[in-house]
Each structure stands twice: as structure tokens, then as C-alpha cells.
Amino acid sequence: VGGRYFENESTLKGVSGYGVVSPGFPILTVDSKTEDEDSIFKFNISYSLDDNKNIYFTWSEGYRAGGLNRDETDVVPREYKPDFLTNFLSLRPNFFFSNSVYFRR
């Protein structure tokens, strides 16, 4: 069993533009900030059937920080949100095919 608490802060200050003021491409003064905090967890359990065979199960959460885009447009927003992931993994001994089946990419 495990867990993680995080606080994430992104700040963007300055001027964003393309050097020439033209229609649709203004010079922008940027002063943006985004904050995020949360907790994620992990749980794992395993059991040894014998000296050569184990089974286990893992449930975990993942996090990738959000942030700020330098150039804000109608298509690209200033802020992008964080990503969260829930993962399940369960493995057991291969009782079939004498461990001779595999996938190769």
C-alpha cells in the first residue's frame, strides 16, 4: 500500500507575440497561474503458490501535471488540465500452452 500527495503550481509571465502586430496575431501580455493538488494511491497483493508460481494484483493511480500554454488562441486554451490514470494489473501462472505463447511487437 502506498500513496502520494502532491501540489503543483505553474506560472507564466511575460510577453508573447510574433514581432509584428498584424490582424489575428496580437502581442499578448501574459500573467497566468494554475495550481493543482491531490492524492494518488497504490495497492499491491501477491501470493506464492509454490517455489515457481506467484500470482499478484496491482491497482494504482497515476498523475501527469497540467500547465500553461504560452500562446493562447481560439483553438489552444491558455491552461491545460492534468491527466489522471487508474491502472489494474493482474498476473497469474500460465497454466496453458506450457508458457510457449507470447506477443512480440
| Three-class DSSP labels, 63-91 | EECCEECCCCCCCCCCEECCEEEEEEEEE
pLDDT at 43: 96
Average pLDDT of the chain, as a whole number: 82
> What is d(CA 35, CA 60) in angstroms, rounded to the nearest whole number?
23
Could you tell me the maximum CA-CA distance found in the chain, to the nearest angstrom? 73
Q: Do strands 28-50 and 2-16 pair parallel, antiparallel, or not at all (unpaired)? A: antiparallel
pLDDT at 9: 93
> What is d(CA 93, CA 105) in angstroms, rounded to the nearest whole number?
22
- Is pLDDT larger for residue 51 or for residue 10? 10
The C-alpha cell of 13 is what?
A: 509571465
pTM (2 d.p.) = 0.62
> What is d(CA 21, CA 27) in angstroms, rounded to the nearest whole number?
6
Query: What are the pLDDT digits (tens) for 14-46?
Result: 887 766 666 666 777 888 899 999 999 999 999
In this prediction, what percent of the chain has a pLDDT beyond 90? Answer: 37
pLDDT at 96: 55
pLDDT at 99: 56
pLDDT at 94: 61
